[in-house]
Structure 1
Amino acid sequence: MDLEKFIEQRPYLYHLTNVQNAESIVAEKRLYSANKIIELSGNNANDLNRRRRTDHTEILVGDKSYFLRDQRPISEKALAKCLTGGWEVADFIYHLNDRIFMWPTIDRLWRHFNRYEHENPVIFRFPTKEIIEVNPHVKFCRLNSGATRANSYLGGKAPARGEETFLPADDFNHSIREVAEVTFEGICNFNFSISTGLRPDGHFVEIPL
């Protein structure tokens, strides 16, 4: 995929988070993956980063509290049937937890927002060019990686997942319109102005940094 064309056609990337995470994100100018938050907490009891979260989870890092969303859309049974490369369910859960997720279109954002609307989440809007320049470890995915819905075209199985689910632009051999998720492993920094809003169809307010 041509990265420059992607940036031109998708000028903004959207990230949805719980309101209690928003203040820390703005203050630190940084987003963390679930794995990184668990690592920073110094506590990975019961392999938390390798188990599907059935409920929202609060993690303490010093005196700060981070909120990790549930992973209920993942069916472990369905996931086990579509994994490639000898991966186990726990391997893919870890792979998901190692990423910060953003959506490249308002339509994709709506699909995620609808599930959490009742929680009044915060939406961050990042300029695509700047966020990728600062975080060149960006990878792209052509499906909703955290949902394992059966596909009739695949004989009732969910689309395959594994090591090649998230790919850099040079290896992503699909069209721009097929990009479903834009991800960053570990940490995603920003040193430029971003915008925040409460609804995909609402007003976004710039936060100068």
Structure 2
Amino acid sequence: MSEAELDALLRDCPVLFHMAERGAWPTIRRHGLLSTVAALDLFGVTGEARAAALRRRPDGIVLERADLGRIVLRDQKPLSDRGLERCLRDGLTPADWHARLNARVFFWLSRARVLTLLAGRAYRDHAHEVLELDAAALVAAHRDRIALSPINSGATGRFPAPRGADTFLPIADYPYAAYARRRRGERAVELTVPGAVPDAACYVRRVSVMRGPETEAVLYEAR
């Protein structure tokens, strides 16, 4: 991706979206956004509890400690190991893919993607917190660590998109022009940061409580 292409992407997608469990905002303000691995490290989770969290999670896992706060590792209902076996390339296994997902913080580049997820059968009956972040500011601060994905890497569904070693690519290596020709016009679906974004709150412009497409409350709005 060239500088001009990155500028175009940020013009068209000025807001990044992150969906979290209800009640997550105070902990995010304190610790930032953490990958699954980073959250397990912070809470000192080891042994079988850690191993279970790093496999596919059919339900959310709560991490809570008086001195640290509360984090919920989100469930992975839209993902199945059977689906991964059908779509993985480059000799990767489902365990390999889980390792890639668990090592990253994920952002959507479009509100439509968030609304689709919220409307899905797994989530539509529950309230969630949706963070809206300044895309240009976050990219400027974490550019060397960012990788982009052209697919929803955490879902398989009936017809899972192929995925492999080149699914997550650094900005400089991402084939923007090739994806610009896609019918839906999405040049990138996910923006990811390995490990954690400890200063995430600095880029947050709005935090909303949403149930399906409806906004139930606004918890925070930058001035």
The two structures share one fold, judged by TM-score above 0.5 = yes
- The 5 Å alignment of 1:1-209 reads 1=1, 2-28=5-31, 30-46=32-48, 47-60=51-64, 62-115=67-120, 116-136=123-143, 137-151=145-159, 158-173=160-175, 174-175=179-180, 177-188=186-197, 189-190=199-200, 191-192=202-203, 194-199=205-210, 202=215, 205-207=220-222
Q: Give the distance between the partners of 1:165 and 1:97, measured in 2 at CA.
A: 15
Supply the distance in 2 between the matched residues of 1:150 and 1:172 (Cα, whole angstroms). Answer: 27
Distance in 2, Cα, partners of 1:57 & 1:20: 14
Residue 154 of structure 1: aligned partner: none
CA offset at residue 201 of structure 1? 6.1
Structure-2 change in CA distance of 1:82 and 1:44 (3 Å)? farther
CA distance in 2, matches of 1:180, 1:112: 13
TM-score (norm 1): 0.86
What are the Cα deviations for residues 156-183 of structure 1, in whole angstroms up to 9, with x where unaligned? xx22222211112222212262311111
The count of corresponding residues between Structure 1 and Structure 2 is: 201
Distance 2:103 2:110 in 1: 22
Distance in 2, Cα, partners of 1:94 & 1:114: 27
Q: CA RMSD in A?
A: 2.1
Indicate the larger mover: 82-91 or 122-131.
82-91
- Deviation string 1:114-151 (CA, Å, 9 cap, x unpaired) is 23242211111101100111222121111111111243
Aligned counterparts of 1:144 and 1:134: Cα–Cα separation in 2: 24
Change (3 A) 1:178 1:93: same
* 134 and 82 in structure 1: CA distance in 2 versus 1, 3 angstrom threshold: same
Q: Does the Cα contact within 8 Å between 1:49 and 1:93 map onto a contact in 2? A: no
Secondary structure of the corresponding residue to residue 186 of structure 2: helix
From the superposition, tell whether residues 66 and 168 of structure 1 become closer, same or farther in structure 2 (CA, over 3 Å).
same
CA 1:110 to 1:193, structure 2 compared with 1: closer, same or farther past 3 Å?
Answer: closer
Distance 1:120 1:149 in 2: 23
Structure 1 CA distance for aligned equivalents of residues 124 and 140 of structure 2: 31
Gap runs ≥5 in structure 2: none
SS in 1 for 2:23: helix
Structure 1: runs of 5+ lacking an equivalent: 152-157
Query: What percent of counterpart residues are identical?
Result: 25
> TM-score, normalised to structure 2's length?
0.81
Displacement of 1:7? 0.8
